Structure 1
Amino acid sequence: MTPADSNPAASGKPPAWDREHTVRHDGLVFDVHEAGPVDGTPVLLLHGFPQSARSWRRVVGMLRAADRDLRLVAPDQRGYSPGARPAEVAAYRTATLAADVLGVADALGLERVHLVGHDWGAAVAWTVAAHHPERLASLTALSIPHLAAFGRAIAEDPEQQALSSYIGVFRREGAEELLLADDARRLRAMYAGQVDADDVEAYVALMAGGAAAPALHWYRAMGRDLRDLPAVRVPTTYVWGEEDQATARASAQWCADHVDADYRFVALPGAGHWTPDQQPDVVAREVLARVRGVAAPPA
């Protein structure tokens, strides 16, 4: 583990983190951001598309205020970290992305973590939970449900089929140029006014700076049938915004069928896809309840 920038404020990064490091895994170098004591209870946070670890800064701030004994760890994942951008599409299979999570945890000496994921980070988190339950103390997934529920909805639910039509576009060659054309007009529109303008500018710069093609490779490499993922057997909370532009109600409701453990489903009226940005207080509350192993207080 190699220390990186020790002064986030001086580098223009949001001041959510105490430490920034790089870790090596699979011949790649991942940027990792941390807050809280190194001997604290480990909570590993996985960002989605098209964001970065920056997306967790509000949630991290609230978790830190609520519990000073948490070790909060957020990597910039494969394709997002400049040192972890293989060229080939096959390097971005979901199983490989899940192996990255374990590799980062191993590099940091974390045998068992509370895992949190949003969007693609949730898809990867479900995969880790399904195949490596011994490495998790709990799971909190935001937006994307268990992949078997999501896959069933893509196959059977007209609303989910319509919402997921963008996936076919993202798989196409040249999709990165389409997203970045006209000052990234289409990319900016994806945030739907639900993400702060300064964060949007940071994500646009990240994509334009070389992350766009690798990030889209996650879609290009994903399996065609998501319904093969086994059930999850770790304590799980699933948080879904009722106005989510990526996940239909059927997907969200069917998620419970694929968790064989303590399960909490939190539906947020009026919330869209970007829940860590829109409702970081709710996300922090649900994560903290899972970490503590207690029922979350009413909203």
Structure 2
Amino acid sequence: MSHDAILFSTTPTLTIAYEQHGPSDGAAVILLHGFPYSPRAYDEVAPALAAEGCRVIVPYLRGYGPTRFNRADTLRSGQQAALAQDLLDLMDALGIAQATLCGYDWGGRAACIVAALFPERVHGLVTGDGYNLQNIPASVRPLDPATEHLYWYQYYFHTPRGVEGLTQNRRALCELLWRLWSPTWTGNAERYPLTAPAFDNPDFVEVVIHSYRHRFMYAAGDPALEWMEKALEQQPTIGVPTVSLCGADDGVGPAPEEDEDADRFTGPYERRVLAGVGHNIPEEAPQETLRALRELLRA
């Protein structure tokens, strides 16, 4: 699927690269990728929404693709509040008062935070794997061993060896994560090469390492974002209309039989577990992603 030319928007912290599809006066939809992915995850979603009259924005997150920090001395933070602030800043820069948001993994975290703390900015939310706000104070508590072993890459990134491993082997390491996290998907070999160049960003390693250290309290966050992190410690509920899409075959966060996040959503909410789908939800299940977005746009 072809995609539109890359545009750039300057925010207080970043010059954000993004792709725009559809008319500039259409209902705004922002599609957010995760780690280690890129806007290519939405190649079958964005054009379809644009053809229906939506203004579709697909940004490269901080540390990915052509997105760049404006200043050399800015902390290359990957913390959850930074991702949310980037989304708010992009909406402000593009004059988007309210949007329908869709995200998974890191992008899902940004979308969920904005929906929780700034509900007036969100018409509807499609979230990959439910409630994505990190409970950082609780991160000191170990999980059961079977779950802990799925997070091996996070613990690897806590070490100098992991930093060097990601630096030297970023494409091979991220390709391994693709295979492990989407074990039943047949599109890995074809689709991964389209996303891998996004990891050549000069800030990719630093942002990724900070993300996985901050969430376990092994790295300090950006002081300017401490207010948001404090708000997130309260694990605020999400009241905007929401559809949660969960991959039944997700290799890093398998969908539990019982919806453990239901009480975190206080507005219209539905959880859908997608058979045969792994972690890369919009790329593996574009039609289910489109269905959810269309339902929210019509609401």
Report the TM-score when normalising by structure 1.
0.81
Q: Does 1:70 align with 2:63?
A: no
Q: Which residue of 1 aligns with 2:112?
A: 126
Q: What amino acid maps onto 1:32 in structure 2?
A: Y
Residue of structure 1 equivalent to 2:123:
137
Tell me the TM-score normalised to structure 2 length.
0.81
Residue matched to 2:79 = 93
User: Structure 1 residue 41: deviation in Å?
Assistant: 0.4
Distance 1:249 1:182, change over 3 A: closer
Matched, 1:26 2:26: no
Does structure 1 conserve the Cα–Cα contact (< 8 Å) formed by 2:170 and 2:199?
no
Select the residue among 235, 240, 250 that pairs with 1:229. Answer: 235
How many angstroms apart in 2 are the aligned matches of 1:203 and 1:272?
Answer: 17
- Distance apart, 1:198 and its partner CA: 4.7
Whose relative contact order is higher, 1 or 2, with alpha carbons under 8 Å and at least 6 apart?
2
Note the 1:216-295 alignment, pairs <5 A. 216-222=209-215, 224=217, 228-250=234-256, 253-293=259-299
Q: Is the 8 A contact 1:89 1:217 kept in 2?
A: no
How far apart in 1 are the matches of 2:239 and 2:22? 28
Give CA deviations for 1:236-292 in whole Å, capped at 9, x if unaligned: 110001111121334972111100110010001221111212111111111111111
User: Aligned to 1:249, what secondary structure does the other structure show?
Assistant: coil
Q: Deviations over 1:222-245 (max 9, x none)?
A: 365976321111111100011111
Please tell me the root mean square deviation across aligned C-alpha atoms, in Å: 2.9
Q: What is the match of residue 173 of structure 1?
A: 160
After TM superposition, give the deviation of residue 22 of structure 1 in Å. Answer: 0.5
Map Cα deviations across residues 176-216 of structure 1 (whole Å, 9 max, x no partner). 43246468433211111644435312333332453233233
Inter-CA distance 46–179: structure 2 relative to 1 (3 Å threshold) = same
- Asked if the contact 1:149/1:255 (under 8 Å) is kept, the reply is no
- Please list the CA deviations of residues 25-45 of structure 1 after superposition, one character each: whole Å capped at 9, or x if unmatched: 124211011101100000011
> What is the match of residue 162 of structure 1?
149
Classify 1:214/1:202 alpha carbon distance in 2 versus 1 (closer, same or farther; 3 Å).
Answer: farther
SS in 1 for 2:37: coil
Shift in Å, 1:105: 0.5
Q: CA deviation at 1:75?
A: 0.8
1:199/1:21 CA distance change after superposition, 3 Å: same
The aligned counterpart of 1:297 is none
User: Which SS does the other structure have where 1:164 is aligned?
Assistant: helix
Change (3 A) 1:183 1:248: closer
Corresponding residue for residue 206 of structure 2? 213
Aligned residue for 1:147, secondary structure, equals: coil
User: 1:204 maps to which residue?
Assistant: 196
- Alignment match, 1:185: 172
CA distance in 2, matches of 1:198, 1:117: 22
Three-state SS of the structure 1 residue aligned to 2:43 is helix
Q: For 2:258 and 2:293, how far apart are their aligned partners in 1? A: 18
- The verdict on how the C-alpha distance between 1:54 and 1:107 changes in structure 2, with shifts beyond 3 A counting, is same
Rounded Cα–Cα distance in structure 2 between residues aligned with 1:249 and 1:55: 20
Q: Which amino acid aligns with 1:164?
A: Y
Q: Percent identity?
A: 27
C-alpha spacing 1:264/1:152, structure 2 compared with 1 (3 Å):
farther
Alignment length, in residue pairs?
A: 277
Q: 1:28 to 1:182 in 2, by over 3 A?
A: closer
CA distance in 1, matches of 2:171, 2:3: 27
Measured after TM superposition, the shift of residue 135 of structure 1 is 0.7
SS at match of 2:44: helix
Aligned to 1:61: 47
Aligned partners of 1:274 and 1:228: how far apart in 2? 28
